[in-house]
């Protein structure tokens, strides 16, 4: 009887999966930040604003880099925003250089998180 899924139901299912994945990423972000604060380890956090070609492809590459806590492409824009965390200012600079070297990245600027 149900040989195919209702197209509207398929869209709703895809949206629910996307939201679940987003919530899981948020939970991992908060858990990482909480565990770092509780451990007493010094760390440097920053927001990195990335101008790029094909932000979704760049986002995938950003998420693979150690030190990247969260990366998102901005809708309707040729930009991505990244939350990063490193143990030192030097580590942050090295991570920024790795971000700037990614294919499709035109520029990357950051603001330290307070």
Give per-residue pLDDT as tens, 51-66.
999 888 999 999 999 9
The whole-model pTM stands at 0.64
Q: What is the pLDDT of residues 27-82, one digit of tens each?
A: 665 555 555 555 666 588 999 999 999 888 999 999 999 999 999 998 888 999 99
Quote the pLDDT of residue 39: 61
Q: Are 83 and 29 in contact (CB under 8 A)?
A: yes
Q: Are 107 and 58 in contact (CB under 8 A)?
A: no
pLDDT at 26 over 70: no
């Amino acid at each position: 009887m149900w040989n195919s899924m209702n197209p509207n139901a398929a869209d709703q299912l895809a949206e629910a999966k996307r939201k679940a994945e987003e919530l899981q990423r948020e939970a991992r972000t908060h858990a990482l930040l909480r565990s770092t604060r509780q451990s007493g380890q010094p760390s440097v956090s920053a927001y990195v604003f990335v101008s790029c070609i094909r932000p979704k492809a760049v986002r995938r590459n950003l998420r693979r880099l150690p030190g990247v806590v969260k990366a998102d492409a901005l809708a309707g824009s040729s930009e991505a925003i990244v939350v990063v965390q490193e143990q030192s200012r030097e580590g942050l600079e090295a991570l920024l250089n790795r971000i700037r070297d990614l294919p499709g990245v035109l520029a990357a600027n950051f603001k330290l998180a307070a």
